Amino acid sequence: MLDLNSKLSSLEGALKAELSSVKDLKSLDEFKIKALGKKSELYQLTRNIGELDPAQRKTAGALINKLKTYIEQNIAELEAGLKTDDNKNKLSSEVLDITMPGRVYPLGASHPVTQVLNELIEIFKPLGYSIANGPEIEHEYYNFDVLNIPREHPSRDMQDTFYIMDNVVLRTHTSPVQACTMLQHTPPVRILSPGRVYRSDYDVTHTPMFHQVEGLVVDRGIKFSHLKGTLLYFAKRMFGEKTSIRLRPSYFPFTEPSAELDVTCVACKGKGCRICKNTGWLEILGCGMVNPNVFKYCNYPDDVTGFAFGMGIERIAMLKYKIGDLRSFFEGDVRFLRQFQ
Amino acid sequence: MRISLNWLGTFLDIDKSKASFIADALTNRGIEVEAIEFQSKGLEKVVVGKIITKDKHPNADKLSVLSVDVGKETLQIVCGASNMKSGDKVAVSLVGAELPNGLVIKKTKIRNVESSGMCCSMSELGLSKEASGIIILPENAKVGTHAAEVLSLDDVFITVATPPNRGDVLGYIGIAREVASILEQKINYSVTNVKSTAKGAGGLEVEIKDDHCYRYIGRLIKGVKIKPSPDWMIRRLEAAGLRSINNIVDITNYVMLETGHPLHAFDLRQISGAKIIVRHAKDNEKIKLLDETEKKLRTSDMMITDPKKVLAIAGVMGGIESGISDDTTDIIIECACFDPSSIRLTSKFHNILTDSSYRFERGVDIDFMGQVMEKTTALYKELADPKEIYEPVDVITRKRSERVVELTAKAATDFIGVNITDLEIEKLLTPIGFHVSKTGSTLKITVPSFRNDVTMKADIYEEIARLNGYDKIPAELPAVVISAEFSDGTNDERLKNNIRNILKGFGYLETITYSFVPDNYHTLLGYSDDDVIKLKNPITETMKIMRTSLVTSMLESVKYNFNHRNMDLRFFEIGKTYLSRKNSGHIPSPTETIANEQEYICGICTGNVINAADWTRGTKPENCNFYTVKGEVATLLAGLRIPSFDFVDINPGKAKYLHPGASCAVKCCGKECGYIGKVHPDLAHKFDLGGSDLYIFELAFDHLKLVANAGLSGKELPKFPLIRRDLSFMVPIEVRDDKIRSNIKKAGAQSLKNYGVFDLYNGKGIPEGQKSMAYYFVFGSDERTLSDSEVDNSMLKIIDGLKKEFLINIRT
C-alpha cells in the first residue's frame, strides 16, 4: 500500500511537471494520451488492482481514481484556457479583405430564343399541351395545300418561300407539324410545335430564318372564346398580370375566323410610346379557329372544332429583353449571348 | 389601297373630322388601316396673298421681287417664277411654315435682297409631282385666309391593307359598303344606263373559246377625242398612286378604282374584223406588252385576241399594238370576268403584277359587270365627246349560282362563345349585303355576289364575330385534357435543356446560327454536291446550301468573334444538319421523306477557360486543350445519365476535319455518336483561324436521346474503410493509358475497386523517349477491413503484370 502511495505521488509530480510545459492544444492532446491513454502508467495501475489483496483493492481504487480525477480536472482547466487563447489568436490573425472578389466561374447561358421557348413550354404545359416536332425541309403539300393555301390562291404570296425543288420548300411556318399531327392522331389534340422556319426576306426587321411556336387545340366543343381565354392566360403569364389583350379580325387561310392578338405595350404599359407607335398595343401573334377545309384534308370528322395560334419567338424575346436588332440573335457575338446568363 | 375620303364621301355621308374613328372601326372589322393623312397638314401657314408690285431683282435676271399683301401685313418676297403679275392672288408660305415636302420657310436673303416667305407651286403643296410656275388663285380668294381652303385641300386619305380573300374591298364601293354599315347608313350608288346612239354593236363580235373566261362585255365607241382628263379625275387617280395618261385610259382606271373591276380599252384600228376572241395562247406565241417587254406565252395563258393575232394577256396586261395612242378615234371597251386561278398562275409565271391581275386574282363581281360597263360608258360620254356609242356585246359562259349558307343561331353561339340571336344575325349581316331568311330555327343566308370569299358556315361565323366585335367575346379556358400520346417532343426538349444546363456550368454560351451556308462549306468537310440540299432561290451568296454539319457554323462564329476582339470563346449550338437522300432529282411524293435531318450538339472553345482576371489563381491563363474538352464531354454524358460511354480511335476516313493526332470518337452504349478534337489546321486556315488552337466536339442528339436518362438506383455505402495506394513509374512515351489500364484490369488483383492515372510528367529528369506516370489504386472489401499484406499482394500482382508487358521502371 505504501508502495502504491509513493508511486502515485511521484506520478502526480511527474504529470504536473509535464502539464506545466504544455503550451498548445496539440501538445495537450498528446499529453492526454500519455497520461490517461491505454499505454499510460495510470491505466497500468488500474489494471493491476486485481493483483492486490481484496481488502486493499477498494482503497487502492479510490486513490488511483482520485489522481485520475485530479489530472482530468487540470487538463480541462488548461484546455479551456488554451481554447480561449487559440480563438483569440484566430480572430486576430485571420482577418481578410472581404472586398476582394471571390473565385467566379465562367457561367454560360441559354440563347434568348431558347429561354423564351422554355417559358412558353412552361406556360402551356399545365394546360395539357405537349410538344410536336417535324421536318424543316417540307413538302409543299404539307406546308401549303393541307393548310388551305393552294398554289393558285393569292394567300400563297403572304409568305416569301425558299424552294428546294418544285414541290419541296423550307417550311415557312411550323403549321405543317400541326397538319401531320392531325393526320397521325385522332382528336383530341393539344400540341405546341416550336422550331426554325424560313422566309426569303432579309432586312432590319426580317431574317431569312427565325423561330416560331404554334399551338393547336382540337376537340369537340372548342369555341372562339376558348382561344381568347387561352391567349389572355398566355399574355398575363408571359408579360405580367396587368397585361390586357385585344383581338383584331385578320385573315389566314388555315383559320376562319382569324385574328391578330395585341397585348398591352410592354414598354409604356399602354400609355403610348415609340415602340407601340403611340397605340399602347403591340401585335404579338396570329390566331383563329381551324378552317374546316384543313380538317377535311386531315380526314377529321366534321363535328370537331379547334383553334390555332402562332408567334415568332424572336419577336417575343425582343420585347421581353429589349433587344433592338433582330440580326443579333444569329451573329453569335459572345458579348450579346453573355447578357442572358 | 389609298382611299380619299372626299371621293368616298360621294357614296355616303362622311364627317372627315371622324377619320380616325372610321379608321379604327375598319381595322376592328379586319380591313386594317395602315395610315391616315390629312392633306392640309403642313399648310396651316400658307395663306392667300395679293401681289401689289412686281419688280426685277437688282442682282438676278430670272428673279423677281414682289411685295405681297397677306392681310395683316405686306411682305417682300423674292420669287423665281415668271407666271405672275401684280394684282394676282397667290398662295404664300409664311415664315415658320413647314410644308408637306419638308421645306421649312425662313426669313432669308436671296442675292442680297431680303425675302420673308415663299409663293408656292402645286408641287410644294403636295398637289402634283410636276410644277410649272406658282399657283395663281381665283380672283375672289380672300386675302389672308387659308390657301388650303381655297384650293379645297381638305381631303383625308386612309391607306387600307386588304386581306387576300377580300377582293370586294379593292374598290371604293366595297370600302363604302363597310363604312356605311359602321356609320349605319346606306350607300348611295346608282348607275343609269347610257342610251346608245347607234343601233346594234357596230360590227363588234365576241367569242369565248377558253372557259376560264366566265363573261365578256365589249362595247364599241366611235369618234372619241383624246385629251387630258379633268383636274378632279387626275387628283383622284393620283391619290391612289396612279399616273394620269389621257382621258380614255384614265377612265378605265378611274372606274376600276371606283368599282374594283378592271377594264381595258383597245384601239379598234388594230383589231382585225372587229372581232374579239378569248382563247388559250398557241405554243411559242409572243406578245409585246404595254410596258414594252416581250413575253413568250404558254398554252395555259389566256389571251384576248382577234382572228389574226394576240392583243392582250387576259386580265393581266394589254399589248402595246392594240393600246390607245394619241390618234386613236374608235375604241372597244372590255369588261370581263376571268377565273382567278388562271390569272394568278399566268401573272406568277410571267412575273407581271398589275392592278388588274391583282384584282382578278382576288375575284370580281360577275353580276355587277353590266353596271360597270354603263358607268364607264357614261364617263366616256361626258369626257371624250364620242360620235357614236353602240350597244354592248355580252357573252356569258358561266352563270354565278346563288350561294346560300344554312345555319342556326345556336350553332353560331356555340362556335363563337357569345350569345347571338336570329335577329342579331340579321341585323349584322343585312347592312353588308347578305339576305337572311328563316325556316324554323334554321337561317338561310344568301351571300351577295361580290363576296366570293364566303362559302361555308365558318365564313358566316367570322362575319358575325367581326361585325359583332371581337371585344364582345368572353375569355374562357377550355377544360384541360392531358394526353399521354404526344410526349416525344416534350422529352426531347427536356433532354436538350439538361444538355444546356450542364454546358452552361462549364461556361458555354448557346448560340443559334443560320441553317444555310455558302456553297463550298460541304466540300471542306468532304461532302460531295450530291450529298447536299441546295436552295433554288437563295437570298444571298452566303446562304445557298443547307448545312451538312454544325462545324463550319461554329468556325464562322469564332471568326466573327475574333473580328470583334472576343478571343476567349466557349459556345455551342443544338441544331440540325441536312443531307440529301439522293432521290436522284425526282419529285418526291408527300409520303416520302425528303432529307435526312439530324440534330447535333456542337461546341467549340479556344483560349483561356477561366476568368482572365482571377487573383485567386494567379495571373497565368489556363488555356483549353483536348483534355479539358474531353473531360467536359465525359461530365456531360455522365450528367445525362448515359449508362456507358467510351472514347476511342476515329475510324480511318472519318471526321477529317479534326487533327488526326489530337482527336477521338465518342461511343455511347456501344455506338459511335460523336467526335472530340482539335480542329485540323487545314480547315482552320480556310477560315483564317490558322493561328489559334480550336477544340471542338459534336454529338448526335438523335442517338443520345435513345440512351440518356438511365434509371437511377442507390447502393449501400461501404461499411469498411477503403485503402489507397499510388504507383509511379517510367514507361516509353508511346505506351497509351488505355493499354496500361487494360493491363491492370487483366492482372485481376483482388479487392481492386477503382484505379486510374493521376499524374503525367515528361519534363526535366526524365530520359528521352520516356514519360513518368502515376496511378492510384483503391482497394476495399464488403466483408471486412483489408490487411496491409493483402493489399501489398495485390499491388505486387499489378506490378508484375505491368512489367511483363511494358518496359517499365518503378519509381520509389
* Cβ(B535)–Cβ(B543) below 8 Å: yes
* CATH number, domain with residue B71: 2.40.50.140
Contact state of A108 with B503 under an 8 Å Cβ cutoff: yes
Q: How far is A18 from chain B (nearest CA, A)?
A: 36
Q: Is B243 within a domain?
A: yes
Q: What is the pLDDT of residue A111?
A: 97
Q: Are residues B410 and B327 in the same domain?
A: no
Complete edge-to-edge strand list for the sheet that includes strand A163-165: A137-139, A168-170, A163-165
Q: Are residues B126 and B160 in the same domain?
A: no
Q: Is B755 within a domain?
A: yes
Q: Cα A160 to the chain's mean position, in Å?
A: 37
Of the candidates B697, B681, B689, B470, the one whose C-alpha atom is nearest the C-alpha of residue B574 is B697
Residues 6 or more apart whose CB falls under 8 angstroms from that of B541 comprise B518, B519
In this structure, what are the phi and psi dihedrals at residue B611, rounded to the nearest 5 degrees? -55, 125
**Structurally, how many domains does chain B consist of?**
6
- The larger pLDDT score, comparing residue B521 to residue B153, is at B521
The span from the CA of B547 to the CA of B616, in Å, is: 43
Output the nine-digit C-alpha cell for B216. Answer: 365578256
What CATH number was assigned to the domain covering residues A112-338?
3.30.930.10
Give A107's contacts in chain B (Cβ within 8 Å): 504-505, 507
Q: What is the pLDDT of residue B150?
A: 86
In this structure, what are the phi and psi dihedrals at residue A172, rounded to the nearest 5 degrees? -95, -10
Domain stop point among B330, B365, B396 = B396
Tell me the CB-side half-sphere exposure of residue B250, using CA atoms within 13 A. 24
The span from the CA of B97 to the CA of A223, in Å, is: 55
Q: Are residues B63 and B34 in the same domain?
A: no
Contact state of B507 with A113 under an 8 Å Cβ cutoff: no
In A290-309, which positions are buried (b, 16+ CB within 10 angstroms) versus exposed (e)? bbbbbbebbebeeebbbbbb
Q: How far is A233 from chain B (nearest CA, A)?
A: 8
Q: Is B554 within a domain?
A: yes
The dihedral over CA atoms of B605, B608, B610, B616, expressed in degrees to the nearest 10, equals 170
Q: Is B716 within a domain?
A: no
**Nearest chain A Cα to B25, which residue?**
A248
CB-closest option in B465, B487, B508 to A257: B465
pLDDT per residue as tens digits for the range B772-812:
999 999 999 989 999 999 999 999 999 999 999 988 888 76
The span from the CA of B227 to the CA of B383, in Å, is: 9
Reduced to 3 states, what is the DSSP secondary structure of residue B762? coil
Q: Are residues B373 and B409 in the same domain?
A: no
ipTM value, please give it.
0.86
The span from the CA of B76 to the CA of B95, in Å, is: 12
Q: What is the pLDDT of residue B169?
A: 95
Average pLDDT on B623-640 reads: 96
Q: Are residues B499 and B573 in the same domain?
A: yes
B538 touches chain A (CB under 8 A): yes
The span from the CA of B560 to the CA of B563, in Å, is: 5
Q: Are residues B768 and B675 in the same domain?
A: no
| Strand spans (E) along B422-465 | 435-439, 442-446
Output the nine-digit C-alpha cell for A244. Answer: 390586357
Q: Are residues B251 and B320 in the same domain?
A: yes
Angle between helices B172-182 and B247-259 (to 10 degrees): 30
What is the residue-averaged pLDDT of chain B?
Answer: 92
Reduced to 3 states, what is the DSSP secondary structure of residue B74? strand
pLDDT per residue as tens digits for the range B206-244:
999 999 999 999 999 999 999 999 989 998 999 999 999
Q: How far is B652 from chain A (nearest CA, A)?
A: 32
Residues 6 or more apart whose CB falls under 8 angstroms from that of B338 comprise B212, B213, B214, B302, B314, B315, B360
Average pLDDT on B120-129 reads: 78
Of the candidates B721, B359, B628, B20, the one whose C-alpha atom is nearest the C-alpha of residue A106 is B628
The span from the CA of A320 to the CA of A312, in Å, is: 13
Q: What is the pLDDT of residue A38?
A: 84
In this structure, what are the phi and psi dihedrals at residue B335, rounded to the nearest 5 degrees? -130, 110
Of the candidates A337, A330, A333, the one whose C-alpha atom is nearest the C-alpha of residue A208 is A330
B461 touches chain A (CB under 8 A): yes
Q: Is B99 within a domain?
A: yes
- What percent of chain B has pLDDT above 90? 75
Q: Are residues B90 and B164 in the same domain?
A: no
Q: Are residues B226 and B120 in the same domain?
A: no
Q: Are residues B517 and B623 in the same domain?
A: yes
Domain stop point among B707, B736, B769 = B707
Q: What is the pLDDT of residue B349?
A: 92
Give B535's contacts in chain A (Cβ within 8 Å): 162-164, 170
pLDDT per residue as tens digits for the range B80-113:
888 888 899 999 999 998 888 788 899 999 888 9
Q: How far is B638 from chain A (nearest CA, A)?
A: 19
The span from the CA of A119 to the CA of A240, in Å, is: 13
List, as ranges, residues 346-385 from B with C-beta within 8 Å of A: 361-362
**Nearest chain A Cα to B611, which residue?**
A106
* Cβ(B472)–Cβ(B546) below 8 Å: no
* Cβ(B198)–Cβ(B388) below 8 Å: yes
Amino acid letter, B714: G
Output the nine-digit C-alpha cell for A135. Answer: 421536318
Average pLDDT on B310-336 reads: 95
Contact state of B534 with A164 under an 8 Å Cβ cutoff: yes
* Cβ(B196)–Cβ(B373) below 8 Å: no
CB pairs under 8 A between A and B: 292
Q: Are residues B440 and B529 in the same domain?
A: no
Amino acid letter, B371: Q
Of the candidates B247, B256, B246, B263, the one whose C-alpha atom is nearest the C-alpha of residue B333 is B263
Run of H or E residues at B230: none
Contact state of B597 with A104 under an 8 Å Cβ cutoff: no
Reduced to 3 states, what is the DSSP secondary structure of residue B355? helix
Q: What is the pLDDT of residue B543?
A: 94
Encode chain A in three state secondary structure. Answer: CHHHHHHHHHHHHHHHHHHHCCCCHHHHHHHHHHHHCCCCHHHHHHHHHHHCCHHHHHHHHHHHHHHHHHHHHHHHHHHHHHHHHHHHHHHHHCCCCCCCCCCCCCCCECCHHHHHHHHHHHHHHHHCCEECCCCCEEEHHHHCHHHCCCCCCHHHHHCCCCEEECCEEECCCCHHHHHHHHHHCCCCEEEEEEEEEECCCCECCECCEEEEEEEEEEECCCCHHHHHHHHHHHHHHHHCCCCCEEEEEEEECCEEEEEEEEEECCCCCCCCCCCCCCCCEEEEEEEEEECHHHHHHCCCCCCCEEEEEEEEHHHHHHHHHCCCCHHHHHCCCHHHHHCCC
Q: What is the pLDDT of residue B39?
A: 86
Q: Is B479 within a domain?
A: no
- Residue B171: pLDDT band with limits 50, 70, 90: very high
Contact state of B462 with A250 under an 8 Å Cβ cutoff: no
Probe site for chain A from B178, B512, B615 (most A CB atoms < 10 A): B512
Contact state of B616 with A233 under an 8 Å Cβ cutoff: no
Q: What is the pLDDT of residue B585?
A: 56
The cell 469564332 sits on which residue? B558
Q: Is B686 within a domain?
A: yes
List, as ranges, residues 402-421 from B with C-beta within 8 Å of A: 414-418
Contact state of A139 with B594 under an 8 Å Cβ cutoff: yes
| Strand spans (E) along B552-641 | 569-580, 595-606
B450 touches chain A (CB under 8 A): no
Encode B779-792 in three state secondary structure. Answer: ECCCCCCCCHHHHH
Q: What is the pLDDT of residue B610?
A: 75
CA distances for B423 relative to B404, B431, B687, angstroms: 18, 13, 72
Q: What is the pLDDT of residue B484?
A: 58
Q: Are residues B630 and B677 in the same domain?
A: yes
Of the candidates A70, A53, A60, A55, the one whose C-alpha atom is nearest the C-alpha of residue A7 is A60
Q: Is B129 within a domain?
A: yes
**Nearest chain A Cα to B586, which residue?**
A165
Give B534's contacts in chain A (Cβ within 8 Å): 164
Torsional sign, CA B661, B666, B670, B672: negative
Q: Tell the burial category of B352 from Cβ atoms under 10 Å away from its Cβ (0-12, 13-18, 19+).
A: middle
Reduced to 3 states, what is the DSSP secondary structure of residue B221? strand
Q: What is the pLDDT of residue B775?
A: 96
Largest Cα separation within chain A, whole Å, is 125
Which parts of chain A have pLDDT scores under 70?
1-2
* CATH number, domain with residue B804: 3.30.70.380
**Number of other residues whose CB lies within 10 A of the CB of residue B203:** 11
Contact state of A152 with B486 under an 8 Å Cβ cutoff: no
Q: What is the pLDDT of residue B646?
A: 94
CA distances for B533 relative to A16, A195, B355, B689, angstroms: 93, 19, 37, 27
In this structure, what are the phi and psi dihedrals at residue B430, rounded to the nearest 5 degrees? -60, -45
Contact state of A108 with B166 under an 8 Å Cβ cutoff: no
Q: Which residues pair with A287 in a beta bridge?
A: A259, A309
* Cβ(B309)–Cβ(B275) below 8 Å: no
**By mean pLDDT, which of B171-175, B194-198, B681-685 is the weakest?**
B194-198
* CATH number, domain with residue B558: 3.30.930.10
pLDDT per residue as tens digits for the range B65-79:
999 999 889 999 999
pLDDT per residue as tens digits for the range B702-759:
999 999 988 888 988 889 999 999 999 999 999 999 999 999 999 988 899 999 999 9
Q: What is the pLDDT of residue B129?
A: 63
- Residue B485: pLDDT band with limits 50, 70, 90: low
Q: What is the pLDDT of residue B786?
A: 93
**Number of other residues whose CB lies within 10 A of the CB of residue B204:** 20
Tell me the CB-side half-sphere exposure of residue B455, using CA atoms within 13 A. 9
Instruction: Give the DSSP letter of residue B344.
Output: H
Could you tell me the residue range of the domain that residue B84 belongs to?
A: 46-150
What is the rounded radius of gyration, in angstroms, for the C-alpha atoms of chain A?
41
Residues 6 or more apart whose CB falls under 8 angstroms from that of B679 comprise B551, B555, B604, B657, B658, B659, B689, B694, B695, B696
Probe site for chain B from A113, A141, A180, A223 (most B CB atoms < 10 A): A223
Residue B583 has pLDDT above 70, yes or no: no
**Number of other residues whose CB lies within 10 A of the CB of residue B501:** 12
